[in-house]
Amino acid sequence: MKEFVIYTGLRILLFIASLGVVLGVWLLVARQVPVVWVVVVAFVISGIASYFLLDRQRAAFAARVEERAARATAAFDERRAREDVDD
């Protein structure tokens, strides 16, 4: 759970930072700011940046999910084996 919170929080912070930069640059270049396009550009930039900058956090989150899935599968298999013995 901790890995999820860290990764998600960093993704949100990266998006907000990208949004601020894109908005600032757009205001310097043009007088009008199309909010939808600013959000879309910031989303794309933050997505690409997170692929490179948040690799370690993403790997930790994926390892945690894989570990939990393996434990759940083992517990399910154990219950099924126990049920087969009882019959």
- As a whole number of angstroms, the distance between CA 74 and CA 13 comes to 37
Going from the first residue of the chain to its last (87 residues), give the mean pLDDT of each consecutive group of 10, the final group possibly shorter.
89 97 94 94 96 92 91 87 71
**pLDDT at residue number 79:** 86
Query: In the chain, how many domains are there?
Result: 1
**pLDDT at residue number 15:** 97
Structure tokens at 79: 């219950």
> Other CB atoms closer than 10 Å to residue 21's CB: what's the count?
14
pTM beyond 0.85: the answer is: no
Phi and psi at residue 70, to the nearest 5°: -65, -40
**pLDDT at residue number 77:** 83
Structural domain of 70: 2-86
Kindly give, in sequence order, each residue whose CB lies less than 8 Å from that of residue 63, ignoring residues fewer than 6 positions away.
3
> Other CB atoms closer than 10 Å to residue 22's CB: what's the count?
21
**pLDDT at residue number 86:** 61
